Structure 1
């Protein structure tokens, strides 16, 4: 009897990497991928940067044409899964088609959180989650408008910098009193704020949006607790909601804060259903509660873990969380996760636009932030991976060769025979 194969619900980064990993690990059964959009899986990080600003739109497809030709992956574009029948192992599509599965992988990602706004404002309000979203904003930027970006997170700031480089007048409205305070040490946040202001962005911090009024001219007036402003376009970047409704409707366990609950192998509460990417909350060793990581790296790593687990193959080693963002001409990379009780050491000077902070607890590095110093952060990544305490006295010194220092710390931590 022929196996019904693997059904992947979702057609984004994580879905594509999982399908590719299944084939690379020797799986020869059918793979069917269901995608809401009309495109093949594509990279989302460029949507807020190169897609908005580059003279020619960059290539975005996750998988090459050669992979599609030889991997025998069936992609059902412009389709949506509306029901998951766990006892029957079936996925029902909006068009009525029913797909049987041996294993099901949910990789539905997330949806941009939206505001309740007057209908008349719809044409000038933007959410950047899809390629079509980004193309629409790009077209609007051609007029060099006055825009406001609601949300000063990584995405909001990337969009603000892209709009600024396109000649737009940009205001960022952020509820927090500092930029990216949940991800950066205070010195790094202060550096970013100063750079954004110097680049020409108006920042309204500790500000919240109260009302949106559509004017007779077609423009908008925003009322905030920091005052009013008129603008042509509004970009909303206030976070992502995990797309877990399919799983919830089927009775799969959902984490308290949202997201399909998965274990270390990306298995859900049903043994035949797995999930990966932005739609998940994962139990990780050392964490008191499941965590959601919305990142390119996590989408890829979970996809490979899920593929291996579905096949009963050895699981890849868990990776230290890593994230990057391009803010104008500056690259910021983050390794590990922040915590309230970390002690930070700094290498370099923020005024030089090349600097790195390491947050550690009792000498064990848990959080690293590098501004235009990604190679330095990569050099000390082995220390993060070992999770062992080290001495940080020589780390800030310019004369210290980082790769040699890492080897020295490894030697000191290794047991002698």
Structure 2
């Protein structure tokens, strides 16, 4: 790393901020420049659809680091600075204001953009997308003046937004083109349980209904669904996914994954170009538990890749990435997921909670060929942590005991570990 006089981080989000902190933590004393297109210092995005959407007082409480951190650590934070081109050969980044930044090494932490519904592009009256703090502020303001909201998209963001709006007293309808909720992340039986809970919380679900046509009027948006029905929405939130922001990478000739569109990186977050690294929602990386290359759009993945990229920039070893972990808070449930979901997993339940219970608590354990691949905890995050050592291992002999809610998980896991140690010794 001594040959690099400076490090440029493009993107002032979770991954970029964590990488900058990790660089200083590893003893790097050189120049760090972080350029971000937003006017806000790096902040955490998960609260945007939850606490921030409900309360303007939360806006200043979601920083990745304290406000003084960047100055204290000698990190040059350039906000409202859009990098428009990257000259990989000359190690120069060009900015929208005509200036340029030379660098020794560069980390692309450009994140992603809200996927756009062509019939309702950003800027359409009465239509909102939720990706940034400014987006959340605009939506929050709009929600003060209507009594009804339609959310298009039944993924995590759409469900969280619907949950927050319902909690604020709005009448909410959620439209999802798939027949169930969160089909790529949850088994059908849990998706059905969640749908029942969403309805029990007063939200109208329109599943298996795509948008056939849209008509924007002075009083809102008229949505014609694929089944022929029509909804009138004084306010619409489109939450149909994320596209990786790879414009700079593509312009610089970096390799992109042909299916998921992310910047391809190796296990050390190195791209196909010498001296350029990538981390966060913008990048695609092989994940052993998934058995393929994927983009992991999560707070944890941004943190882990930022940490690993920092070590790689300095040429030092880093601890391997932690197991994939994701959480969502919606409709009175904290749902945490550990490991990797696969279509052919067999799920077993540990407990069961009524969908209309105040605080249901249970878990699902997903196995394939006897090995634990995926664990889902509903209001049981403490129990989920007990299972980390079991993911990827054969749990055939103890699965029934793991699912017996009368037995403490810690005890069952310790018994499994003891048996595994005996097997190794033999």
The TM-score bracket by the shorter chain reads over 0.9
2:15 corresponds to 1:14? yes
Q: How does 1:12-411 map to 2 (within 5 A)?
A: 12-54=13-55, 56-58=57-59, 59-117=61-119, 122-215=124-217, 217-226=218-227, 227-257=229-259, 258-285=261-288, 288-351=291-354, 353-384=360-391, 387-391=393-397, 392-411=399-418
CA distance in 2, matches of 1:110, 1:55: 24
- Mapped contact 1:124–1:232 kept (Cα < 8 A): yes
Compute the displacement of 1:147 (Å).
1.3
Q: Does 9-18 or 343-352 show the bigger shift?
A: 343-352
Compute the displacement of 1:173 (Å).
0.7
- Mapped contact 1:158–1:327 kept (Cα < 8 A): yes
CA distance in 2, matches of 1:169, 1:293: 32
Q: CA RMSD in A?
A: 1.8
Compute the displacement of 1:120 (Å).
11
CA distance in 1, matches of 2:394, 2:272: 34
Question: Over residues 147-201 of structure 1, what are the superposed CA-to-partner deviations in whole Å (9 max), with x where a residue is unaligned?
Answer: 1111000000000011111111111110110111111122211111001001111
Compute the displacement of 1:362 (Å).
2.4
Relative to structure 1, the CA distance from residue 343 to residue 2 in structure 2 (aligned partners, 3 Å threshold; closer, same or farther) is closer
Give the secondary structure class of the aligned counterpart of 2:125: helix
Relative to structure 1, the CA distance from residue 230 to residue 110 in structure 2 (aligned partners, 3 Å threshold; closer, same or farther) is same
Give the secondary structure class of the aligned counterpart of 1:335: strand
Question: Over residues 298-352 of structure 1, what are the superposed CA-to-partner deviations in whole Å (9 max), with x where a residue is unaligned?
Answer: 0000000000011111122221100000012211111111112212111011326
CA distance in 1, matches of 2:273, 2:15: 20
Compute the displacement of 1:379 (Å).
1.4
- Mapped contact 2:12–2:42 kept (Cα < 8 A): yes
Compute the displacement of 1:398 (Å).
2.3
Question: Over residues 14-57 of structure 1, what are the superposed CA-to-partner deviations in whole Å (9 max), with x where a residue is unaligned?
Answer: 10000000000000110000100001000100000001113622
- Mapped contact 1:144–1:166 kept (Cα < 8 A): no
CA distance in 1, matches of 2:120, 2:17: 37
Give the secondary structure class of the aligned counterpart of 1:394: helix
Compute the displacement of 1:285 (Å).
3.5
Q: Does 115-124 or 344-353 show the bigger shift?
A: 115-124
Compute the displacement of 1:358 (Å).
0.5
- Mapped contact 1:390–1:409 kept (Cα < 8 A): no
CA distance in 1, matches of 2:413, 2:66: 37
- Mapped contact 2:290–2:340 kept (Cα < 8 A): no
Compute the displacement of 1:393 (Å).
1.6
Question: Over residues 191-236 of structure 1, what are the superposed CA-to-partner deviations in whole Å (9 max), with x where a residue is unaligned?
Answer: 1100100111111101100111123x43221111131011101100
- Mapped contact 1:153–1:179 kept (Cα < 8 A): yes
- Mapped contact 1:121–1:214 kept (Cα < 8 A): no
TM, length-normalised to structure 1? 0.96
Give the secondary structure class of the aligned counterpart of 2:107: strand
What runs of 5+ residues in structure 2 fail to find an aligned partner?
A: none
Compute the displacement of 1:388 (Å).
4.3
CA distance in 1, matches of 2:67, 2:116: 35
What runs of 5+ residues in structure 1 fail to find an aligned partner?
A: none
Give the secondary structure class of the aligned counterpart of 1:393: helix
Compute the displacement of 1:86 (Å).
1.1
CA distance in 1, matches of 2:161, 2:277: 33
Relative to structure 1, the CA distance from residue 314 to residue 146 in structure 2 (aligned partners, 3 Å threshold; closer, same or farther) is same
Relative to structure 1, the CA distance from residue 121 to residue 97 in structure 2 (aligned partners, 3 Å threshold; closer, same or farther) is closer
Compute the displacement of 1:98 (Å).
1.2
